[in-house]
Amino acid sequence: MSGRYLLAADVGGTRSMVALALEGRPWPSVATQAVYESQHFESLKAIIEDFLTKPGVAPHRRAVRAACFSVAGPVALNSVTLTNLGWKVRGDALAAELGLTEMKLVNDFAAAGLGIPRLAPTDLETLQAGYPVAQGTRLIIGAGTGLGTGLLTAHGGGYVAHASEAGHADFAPVDELQDKLLVYLRRTFGRVSYERVVSGPGLMRIFSFLQESGVGIPSKQLQEAARNNTDTASVIGGFGLEKRDPLAARALDLFASAYGAFAGNMALATLARGGVYLAGGIAPKLAPKLKDGTFMRAFNSKGRFADLLSTIPVHIIMNPQVGLLGAMIEAQRMLD
């Protein structure tokens, strides 16, 4: 292939996806891509250097005209400290070190929001159809290693993405059980944010809280599975979904309720009449749980504003590459 190339990456606390794309209209097209385990590398530079040496990438390295990296953290002056990795990245300096012409860093959920127009109907699972407003504000939320949020507002015929760190807002319990959860987490963290609850590590904390509160004990099967799997949150989620462990199922109930309440709060704060989109690594895996009504009851349970919330569309993004797609789109805009 010939032409101008784009370099895009979606860098998360758990995994990072990197792609070489060929510019094009209406969208750039992926030439080749790779997935990396973020914590196996000491820096973002090490990941990108590895990708640029791959046989399908190296011959086109000098044809890369723009690079955009979606990063999990607050971006300021094209620099970021990744929240759950601790990596410090300066976009201009990294571009110079890698020999790239131009590089832009964008918040991961701002990038995911930009990727929404690239999604096919089959990439979405609808939790609430609502009554979408054309060019209405859109909200994107995602639990994974952390809890990300982003906002999209209409501009011209499209949308402008705005980064947010609302996942680090104070956790607000909505019932007595969540009151006790807050007290439990304060012993460890002092101040408790939503991310401490609505995330992969948060699900594990909920499970431990319920166990220590005497709600139940994990089955021998779950304990054995957890010993043989480094992703304990995935084990709890799987056993809870399949109803193979009552304590895991109870933990999922509490998790989905807290997730729904947070999403409803953010929908109120932004009046997201264009829709709420759930991204991140957890929502697709727990889609059956999120679709059983627990999430939406908490989302809509906003007193006098329950009727308003019931009109807001809510979707799960099933395509894990939405952030990478958004970074590619932003790299294309940089050329334009």
Indicate whether 2 pLDDT > 60.
no
pLDDT of residue 28: 87
> Tens digits of per-residue pLDDT, 12-38?
888 899 999 998 888 888 999 999 999
Yes or no: say if 309 and 268 are a contact pair by the CB < 8 Å rule: yes
pLDDT of residue 27: 84
Does pLDDT of 194 surpass 90? yes
| Cα 113 to Cα 10: distance, rounded to the nearest angstrom | 13
Domains of the chain: 5-115+321-335 (3.30.420.40), 167-317 (3.40.367.20)
Question: Mean pLDDT score of the chain, rounded to an integer?
Answer: 93
Q: What is the pLDDT of residue 17?
A: 95
pLDDT of 3 higher than 80 = no
Residue 215 main-chain phi, psi, to 5 deg: -70, -35
- Say yes or no to pLDDT of 201 above 50: yes
Q: pLDDT tens digits for 61-82?
A: 888 999 999 998 889 999 999 8
pLDDT-above-70 percentage for the chain = 99
The alpha-carbon radius of gyration of the chain (Å, integer) is 20
Q: Tokens for 131?
A: 């009554």
- Is residue 1's pLDDT more than 60? no
The reported pLDDT for the residue numbered 311 is 98
Q: What is the 3-state secondary structure (H, E, C) of the chain?
A: CCCCEEEEEEECCCEEEEEEEECCCCCCEEEEEEEEEHHHCCCHHHHHHHHHCCCCCHHHHHHEEEEEEEECCCCECCEEECCCCCCEEEHHHHHHHHCCCCEEEEEHHHHHHHHHHHCCHHHEEEEECCCCCCCCCEEEEEECCCEEEEEEEEECCEEEEEEECHHHCECCCCCHHHHHHHHHHHHHHCCCEHHHCCCHHHHHHHHHHHHHCCCCCCCHHHHHHHHCCCCHHHHHHHHHHCCCCHHHHHHHHHHHHHHHHHHHHHHHHHCCCCEEEEECCHHHHCHHHHCCCHHHHHHHCCHHHHHHHCCCCEEEECCCCHHHHHHHHHHHHHHC
Query: Residue 158: its pLDDT value, please?
Result: 85
Is 70 exceeded by the pLDDT of residue 272?
Answer: yes
Higher per-residue pLDDT: 86 or 130: 130
Is residue 184 within 8 Å of 129, Cβ to Cβ? Answer: no
> What's the pLDDT band for 84 if we cut at 50, 70, 90?
confident
Residue 204 identity: M
pLDDT at 199 over 70: yes
Whole-angstrom distance, CA of residue 118 vs CA of residue 125: 15
For 111-135, the pLDDT digits (tens) are 999 999 999 999 999 999 999 999 9
**pLDDT higher than threshold 60 for residue 109:** yes
The residue with greater pLDDT, 111 or 84, is 111
Model pLDDT, residue 13 = 82
User: pLDDT tens across 237-265, in order?
Assistant: 999 999 999 999 999 999 999 999 999 99
Q: How much is the average pLDDT of 141-168?
A: 91
- Cα separations in angstroms, 80 against 76, 89, 310: 6, 5, 37
Residue 310 has pLDDT above 50, yes or no: yes
Q: In 10 A of CB 78, how many CB atoms?
A: 16
